[in-house]
Copies of this chain bind each other. A is one copy, B any other.
Amino acid sequence: MTIHHPAKKDLELADVLHALSDPQRLRIVRLLAEDPAPRACGSFGLEISKSTRTHHFRVLRESGVIETRQEGTARMSSLRRDDLEERFPGLLDAVLEPAPA
């Protein structure tokens, strides 16, 4: 059961924006950006159930925002920074920037 990721050329702006428009997912992306080392889904301190977490990570993965590889029982996720930058230059940085007061 291989994990599906969209190819870089298939990334859709609307899908990426939708993936980022949920507070939980935005939080995940921000945490991933702060510490670029791939992390297990369970290590984000999110106060949601396991199945909801799985759901959000799938949305992020299928829209092309994150990349996930199996490592033992854990799934290590990391941002697809370079792919996103190539397809939608400046988008991720704009989203990650802390909003000015």
Give chain A's interface residues, CB within 8 Å of chain B. 9, 13-15, 17-18, 20-23, 26, 86-91, 93-95, 97, 99-101
- The copy count of this chain in the complex is 2
Partner of A88, one of B17, B23, B89, B97: B97
Q: How far is the CA of A14 from the CA of B94 in the complex (A)?
A: 12
In the complex, residue of chain B having the shortest beta-carbon distance to the beta carbon of A24? B14
Q: Are A17 and B13 in contact, CB atoms less than 8 angstroms apart?
A: no
- Expressed in whole angstroms, the minimum distance between the Cβ of A81 and any Cβ of chain B is 14
**Hey, which chain B residues are within 8 Å of A26, CB to CB?**
13-14, 17
Partner of A87, one of B14, B86, B91, B100: B100
Q: How far is the CA of A99 from the CA of B9 in the complex (A)?
A: 10
Q: A14-B22, A14-B23, A23-B14 are in contact. Are A91 and B94 (CB under 8 A)?
A: yes
- Expressed in whole angstroms, the minimum distance between the Cβ of A97 and any Cβ of chain B is 6
* 6 A-B pairs in the complex with CB atoms less than 8 angstroms apart: A14-B21, A17-B20, A17-B21, A88-B97, A89-B97, A90-B90
